[in-house]
Every structure is written in C-alpha cells, then in structure tokens.
Structure 1
C-alpha cells in the first residue's frame, strides 16, 4: 500500500507541476486579465463560464486566517511524509504455526 501511495503522490505532483507550468494562458474579460493554466488546444479558442472563473478565483486565492488550520497543516505534512517515506527498521517473518519453520526431511543413510 505504501509503494502505491508513493507512486500515486509522485505522479500527482508531476502532473500538477506540468499542468501549471506548461499550459499557462490568459483571458481578458471585461477589462480584467485572468491568468490560469490547464491543458487546452492552442489552435482552438476557448472561454470559461462565470462559474468556472469563480472556481479559478477560489482555488488561486484561498486564504485562511485560522491558527488551527495552519498548525494542523504544519504538523500533518511532516508527519505524513515521515510515515510515507520511512523504511521499517526490523523486518520479522511470522510463521502461522509454531515449529513449522524448522520442519525438514528425515535423515538419510547411504549404504
């Protein structure tokens, strides 16, 4: 499960970084320039609805003044990172029944 999460978070980060870096463009709406990024075809002009523009504004201008949110975020990210990327110190192999790990064939005498 940890390996799956590692790769998922890596792919999520790389795709997010590529999305905000490679597809940046702007729209001028009512004299206001809106700069954002998302994958689009440069040859085909596109526009956004008012709801989409409001969502872009909310996603790009999220501000929280609550000290609790800041404290939780500052604690969560390091703890999550340590949990996700730490390697187990001691690996033990458990046998479901005591003694089965020591079973062997009977001794053989060559004559």
Structure 2
C-alpha cells in the first residue's frame, strides 16, 4: 500500500503536468461545415503551422466525447443523496477531535500547558 501511495504521489502530478503541457502546446482549430472545433493533441505541422492531417467525423466525435463530461441533474442528486448518509455515519461513529482539545477522555480543556522561564 505504501509503494502504491509513493507511486501515485509521483505519477499523478506528472500526468497532470503532461496533460496541461499538451493543452498548451498542441491546441489547434478545425473548421468543418462552418463549425469551429478547437482541441488539443500532438500533431505534425505544415509550413503555415496548420496540422498536416485532417480528422474524419468519427475522430471529431471521439475527441468531443473525451473532452466533455455530461451529467444530468437527477444523477447528480442521486450521488449526493448516497454520499450524505455515508459521511454522516462516519462522522457520528468516529468524530474528529484535535488532540489539544481532549487531554482527558470525555473532558474539553482549553488550558495551556505549564511554562517555566
């Protein structure tokens, strides 16, 4: 488990930075049937800076589906309804108390520790 966490601590930031770099470096525009489509992926350029190869309709649909997240209001409500009771149960069964507020079990004390010059 610790190896997985160590791996993810490195892999996820690298993945995010490479994704962001791809967005910044490879963004380009296609105009298909009067519709402007902007997307990003590595490509080879022509002399004028435009992409060498054009996409077909299926590739445009795939790029659109990969870059768009759609969720209905009902699905979002179901996710919230499922998450709230779970969070409530976790907090009521295992409440979070900072150590400095509970020096003695069952008693809240805000007194500072003794200090000697």
* TM-score interval (norm. to shorter): 0.5 to 0.7
Gaps (5+ residues) in structure 1? 76-111
Partner deviation per Cα, 1:8-62 (whole Å, 9 max, x = no partner)? 1011101111111111100111111110001112236111121110011212332
Q: Partners of 2:37 and 2:66 in 1: how far apart?
A: 13
Match of 1:25 among 28, 37, 48: 28
Which of structure 1's runs of 4+ aligned residues deviate more than 6 A?
A: none
Q: Partners of 1:71 and 1:42 in 2: how far apart?
A: 46
- For 1:1-111, what aligned pairs fall within 5 Å after superposition? 1-43=4-46, 45-65=52-72, 66-67=75-76, 71=80
Larger-Rg structure: 1
Q: Partners of 1:14 and 1:39 in 2: how far apart?
A: 15
Q: Partners of 1:51 and 1:68 in 2: how far apart?
A: 32
Q: Which has the higher contact order (CA 8 A, sep 6+)?
A: 1
Gaps (5+ residues) in structure 2? 85-117
Question: For this pair of structures, how many residues does the alignment match?
Answer: 74
**CA RMSD in angstroms, aligned pairs only:** 2.5
TM-score by length of 1: 0.57
TM-score by length of 2: 0.54
**Structure 1 residues 2 and 47: alpha-carbon distance in aligned structure 2, compared to 1, 3 A threshold:** same
**Structure 1 residues 9 and 46: alpha-carbon distance in aligned structure 2, compared to 1, 3 A threshold:** same
